[in-house]
């Protein structure tokens, strides 16, 4: 069985409400599992101790990040089970869908050039929650080999040799580390592909506009860092996103608003570009198969995200000046303090 050559790493921070389901889904797949905890203040560690084969608690004195958690998890996995060839990475807010691991392993075995296989991430329905619907729209992408690494998330089946070859995830990247990992694989001549099999059920756990906004600020930070690292490589990672953020998040409002007093308000007409942008995003979503309502929702929040992404861009450059590495959290800590 392919699973005999595969181990799993589950990472989490204050995911007690969801972690047991994540670990049980991996256990049901028959995978040896390492859980890595990023200084949770809830019952995550206690829950993991009863379900994972090994639990690692990261030292909070060293900057925390999903990249660091996955790297340390893989290092422990490789030492304890040295014969493993592949590793499944799963976040603590996800439940692995039955059948994905053997399906992904079979594809990887058939194509020696593959370094990573992913499937469709399914957002857990939350009736009446538009942010859950936005997440579902965000996760969708076409199957086949991936060239836009924004479509590569942290849930994946990876070949351990390739992971080690490129040095794993960059631990200094606080968001978008999964996409940046994919870029380095591509630059090394390796391939990332997406199969049609559903991969995992995800719970975004976003209930308010404030949480969504913070996550969008985080996304702006991520796309800026990815552009600075690889935007001028042959992959041109995030080149379009970076310049679009600068144009719509800074240039247009500055040129429209700052000279308004001496143009007698005429420059404000430039703000008419935003409805045009919204229409373009709506049409793009419709071409991807979204319903009219979903396309409108996606376009409306896509417009809002330009301002949030711009804040993230500024925060990235401020971080570079100060040298601080601090994660941007948008989820509320769980209220569960004891394992159940």
Whether 233 and 177 share a structural domain: no
68 & 142 share domain: yes
pLDDT of 3: 47
- CB of 219 closer than 8 Å to CB of 140: no
pLDDT along the chain (340 residues), means of 10: 76 93 96 95 94 95 93 95 96 96 96 97 90 93 94 96 96 92 97 97 92 96 96 95 97 95 93 96 94 96 97 93 77 49
Q: Are residues 184 and 249 in the same domain?
A: no
Kindly state whether residue 306 falls inside one of the protein's structural domains: yes
Q: Is 117 a domain residue?
A: yes
Instruction: Give domain status of residue 332, yes or no.
Output: no
Distance CA 139, CA 128 (A): 19
Domain boundary among 208, 242, 268: 208
Classify residue 214: in a domain, yes or no. Answer: no
Q: Which residue has the tokens 């391939």?
A: 191
Closest CA to 15 of 36, 35, 44: 44
Statement to judge: residues 15 and 136 lie in one domain: yes
Q: What pLDDT score was predicted for residue 332?
A: 65
Q: What CATH number corresponds to the domain at position 48?
A: 3.90.550.10
Total H helices, total E strands in the chain: 12, 9
Tokens at residue 146, please?
Answer: 């991936």
61-83 pLDDT tens trace: 998 999 999 999 999 999 999 99
- Kindly state the tokens that stand for 249: 């998040």
The span from the CA of 177 to the CA of 193, in Å, is 17
How many domains does the chain divide into? 2
Three-class secondary structure of residue 77 per DSSP:
helix
Domain membership flag for residue 155: yes
Task: Give me the residues paired with residue 37 across strands.
Answer: 12, 57
Residues 246, 116: one domain?
A: no
Dihedral of alpha carbons 157, 123, 244, 174, sign: negative
Instruction: Indicate whether 100 and 171 sit together in one domain.
Output: yes
Q: What is the pLDDT of residue 220?
A: 96
- Which stretches does DSSP call E strand in the chain? 6-12, 32-37, 54-57, 86-91, 94-96, 114-123, 144-145, 156-159, 191-202
Domain boundary among 208, 238, 264: 208
Question: Residue length, the chain?
Answer: 340
Q: Are residues 184 and 239 in the same domain?
A: no
Q: Tokens representing 281?
A: 């995003």
Instruction: Write the CB contacts of 235 (distance below 8 Å, at least 6 apart in sequence).
Output: 149, 183, 186, 187
Indicate whether 52 belongs to any domain. yes
Residue 340 lies in a domain: no
- Residue 213 included in any domain: no
317 and 187 together in one domain: no
Residue 127 and residue 268 share a domain: no
| The pLDDT value given to residue 4 | 62
Residue 175: phi and psi, rounded to 5, are: -160, 145
The span from the CA of 58 to the CA of 36, in Å, is 7
Residues 204 and 235 in one domain: no
Instruction: For residues 188 and 256, state if they share a domain.
Output: no
Q: What is the pLDDT of residue 39?
A: 92
Contact indicator for 287, 142 with CB cutoff of 8 Å: no
Range of the domain at 270: 228-322
170 plus 77 within the same structural domain:
yes
Are 315 and 325 in contact by the 8 Å Cβ rule? The answer is no
Per-residue pLDDT at 333: 58
């Amino acid at each position: 069985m392919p699973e005999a050559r595969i181990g799993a790493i589950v990472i989490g921070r204050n995911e007690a409400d969801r972690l047991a389901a994540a670990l049980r889904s991996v256990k049901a797949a028959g995978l040896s599992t390492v859980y890595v905890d990023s200084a949770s203040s809830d019952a995550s560690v206690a829950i993991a101790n009863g379900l994972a084969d090994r639990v690692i608690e990261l030292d909070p004195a060293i900057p925390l990040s999903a990249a660091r958690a996955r790297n340390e998890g893989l290092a422990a996995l490789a030492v304890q089970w040295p014969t493993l060839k592949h590793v499944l990475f799963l976040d603590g807010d996800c439940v692995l869908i039955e059948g994905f691991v053997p399906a992904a392993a079979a594809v990887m075995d058939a194509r020696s050039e593959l370094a990573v296989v992913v499937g469709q991430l399914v957002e857990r329905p939350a009736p009446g929650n538009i942010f859950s619907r936005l997440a579902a729209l965000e996760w969708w992408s076409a199957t086949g080999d991936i060239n836009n690494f924004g479509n590569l998330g942290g849930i994946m089946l990876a070949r351990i040799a390739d992971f080690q070859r490129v040095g794993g995830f960059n631990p200094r990247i606080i968001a978008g580390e999964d996409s940046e990992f994919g870029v380095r694989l591509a630059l090394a001549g390796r391939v990332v592909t997406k199969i049609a099999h559903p991969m995992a059920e995800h719970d975004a756990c976003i209930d308010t506009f404030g949480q969504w906004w913070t996550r969008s600020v985080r996304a702006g930070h991520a796309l800026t860092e990815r552009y600075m690292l690889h935007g001028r490589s042959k992959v041109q990672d995030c080149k379009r996103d970076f310049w679009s953020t600068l144009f719509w998040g800074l240039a247009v409002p500055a040129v429209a608003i700052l000279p308004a007093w001496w143009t007698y308000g005429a420059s404000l007409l430039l703000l008419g570009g935003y409805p045009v942008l919204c229409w373009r995003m709506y049409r793009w979503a419709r071409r991807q198969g979204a319903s009219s309502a979903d396309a409108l929702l996606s376009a409306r929040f896509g417009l809002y995200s330009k301002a949030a992404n711009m804040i993230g861009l500024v925060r990235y450059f401020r971080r570079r000046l100060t040298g601080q590495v601090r994660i941007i959290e948008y989820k509320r800590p769980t209220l569960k303090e004891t394992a159940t």
